[in-house]
Amino acid sequence: MNARIRPAGLHTTAVHAGEAPDPATGALATPIHLSTAFHLGTAERGAAVFSGREEAYVYSRWANPTVSAFERKAAALEGAEAAIASASGMAAIASAILTSVQSGDHIVSATAIYPSTYHLMATQLASMGVRTTFVDATDPGNVARAIGPSTKLVYLETPGNPTLALCDLEAIGRIARSAGLATICDNTFASPVNQRPLELGIDTVVHSATKYFCGHGDAVGGLVLGRAAFIDRCLKEPLRYYGGIMAPFSAYLMLRGAATMPLRVMRQNSSALRIAEWLERHRAVARVLYPGLPSHPQHALAKRQMPGGFGGIVCFDLAGGVEAGARLMNAVRVCSLATSLGDARTLISHPASTTHSVVPPEARLAQGVTDGLVRLSVGIEDVEDLVADLDAGLR
Ligand code: LCS
């Protein structure tokens, strides 16, 4: 938080946290520090910095002032002791997992997660000797039953991509803690505006900052947030050595985007709820998945766990299956047919033929990703324009 701003509300935090007028010029917008290296001053100070006796910026793969400002803002928004930013959401996820496990360890993970994360665990980590058991984590009992002697980590994503299945963070956090296990939760879909896993007993949060933090679809990035000691290890081991750091220009775009994240997400929450209710009454729609609808099987949990709102992602199954999906994708004019989510513009996608094509069909169907599933990432346009666009597309 800007030292001059005392404990503040969500919008004030989003605007001010992590940033302060530039001491050299008074610039209010945080400068983009493109410098690779930083002057060490004297040989003695250089030695003190390299031995860890003194803290200073040295080299931008280790730390960069623009990136640090974004990390401070993100930590304030998520209620974390510390944060590190990375080149992408996947770099954040890989770094957080690699900080938590080593060869011979076992992970219990929710099945309903972003497919590249599933792939990372099922193939990359498996080849390094880290085994993962995937469970339906909508029932905390399934997580408890999968824990074995070599389990070190429980990995969750809620709401899950794209079926919006929820994990009970408080219950699973309790199970993991009593077994001495670390927990990581991907909070990308909810954003800290709607859900704060650290307050519910989860150790570490990861984000694809590409989504709601950035908010404008023009920068890729990630975040790991949690206790200072974990974040320090994450930075000094996987992130520094594998090198997936955030670039200063991306950090500038993220800072600028994060300032309006609460405004955008609150509007997206209300538009998504309105669209979900409308879709539920539509004849062409067989099923709507949205945690804010009483028909969502975990609506009661959503109300408890997502106090800020139910998010901007709505999924629905078209009665006409895959052909109806293709017709809708080709007919929409305000919604853009594109992958990604969390942008100011509304994005529409067909997971079975895009993001989830890497998941084997049986596993994909087990995750609830049917052939006709459509994912809508609701933007900040006028909701009546979005409804009219979808209505025309569905007719
Ligand atoms: N976590 C979640 C929940 C995601 O949805 C994504 C990307 C990632 C992590 C990875 O973040 P990235 O490395 O791309 O910044 N989700 C995408 C999606 O649903 N369509 O395109 C990307």
pLDDT per position as a tens digit, 329-352: 999 999 999 999 999 999 999 888
Whether ligand 1 lies within 6 angstroms of the CB of 188 is answered as: yes
Do 213 and 130 belong to one domain? Answer: yes
Q: Give residue 314's pLDDT band: very low, low, confident or very high (50, 70, 90).
A: very high
**Residue range(s) defining the domain that contains residue 311:** 261-394
Do 315 and 209 belong to one domain? Answer: no
Structural domain contains residue 4: no
The last residue of one of the domains, among 206, 240, 259, is 259
Q: Which of 271, 224, 275, 247 is nearest to 390 (CA)?
A: 275
Query: What are the tokens at 343?
Result: 């942008």
* Residue 226: CATH number of its domain: 3.40.640.10
Q: How many CB atoms lie within 10 A of CB 27?
A: 10
Say how many Å lie between the CA of residue 35 and the centre of ligand 1. Answer: 29
Structural domain contains residue 5: no
Q: Give residue 3's pLDDT band: very low, low, confident or very high (50, 70, 90).
A: low
The last residue of one of the domains, among 259, 282, 309, is 259
Do 255 and 268 belong to one domain? Answer: no
CB 85 within 8 A of CB 231: no
Structural domain contains residue 341: yes
The last residue of one of the domains, among 259, 276, 304, is 259
Structural domain contains residue 1: no
Number of structural domains found in the chain? 2
**Options 72, 152, 211, 264, the catalytic residue:** 211
**Is residue 393 scored above 90 in pLDDT?**
yes
Whether ligand 1 lies within 6 angstroms of the CB of 376 is answered as: no
What is the average per-residue pLDDT within 160-166? Answer: 93
Do 29 and 159 belong to one domain? Answer: yes
pLDDT at res. 304: 98
Do 69 and 126 belong to one domain? Answer: yes
pLDDT at res. 353: 77
pLDDT at res. 351: 86
Do 363 and 228 belong to one domain? Answer: no
Lowest mean pLDDT among 5-19, 65-79, 83-97, 99-113: 5-19
Query: Is 242 tagged catalytic?
Result: no
**Options 105, 168, 186, 203, the catalytic residue:** 186
* Residue 350: CATH number of its domain: 3.90.1150.10
pLDDT at res. 4: 59
Do 298 and 195 belong to one domain? Answer: no
Do 284 and 239 belong to one domain? Answer: no
Say how many Å lie between the CA of residue 208 and the centre of ligand 1. Answer: 6
Structural domain contains residue 3: no
Do 203 and 315 belong to one domain? Answer: no
Percent of the chain scoring above 90 in pLDDT:
88
Q: Give residue 360's pLDDT band: very low, low, confident or very high (50, 70, 90).
A: confident
Q: Give residue 297's pLDDT band: very low, low, confident or very high (50, 70, 90).
A: very high
What is the average per-residue pLDDT within 231-241? Answer: 94
Residue 5 burial by CB count (10 A; 0-12/13-18/19+): exposed, middle or buried? middle
Q: What is the CA radius of gyration of the chain?
A: 21
Q: Which of 361, 365, 334 is nearest to 348 (CA)?
A: 334
Whether ligand 1 lies within 6 angstroms of the CB of 357 is answered as: no
Do 217 and 167 belong to one domain? Answer: yes
Whether ligand 1 lies within 6 angstroms of the CB of 191 is answered as: no
Structural domain contains residue 248: yes
pLDDT at res. 207: 98
Say how many Å lie between the CA of residue 114 and the centre of ligand 1. Answer: 6
Query: What are the tokens at 270?
Result: 């209300």
Do 204 and 255 belong to one domain? Answer: yes
Say how many Å lie between the CA of residue 210 and the centre of ligand 1. Answer: 8
**Is residue 5 scored above 70 in pLDDT?**
no
Q: Is the pTM of this model over 0.95?
A: yes
**Is residue 365 scored above 90 in pLDDT?**
no
The amino acid that residue 166 corresponds to is L
Do 127 and 218 belong to one domain? Answer: yes
Whether ligand 1 lies within 6 angstroms of the CB of 158 is answered as: no
Tell me the per-residue pLDDT of 123-147, one tens digit each, with 9 for 90 and over: 999 999 999 999 999 999 999 999 9
Q: What is the mean pLDDT of the chain?
A: 95
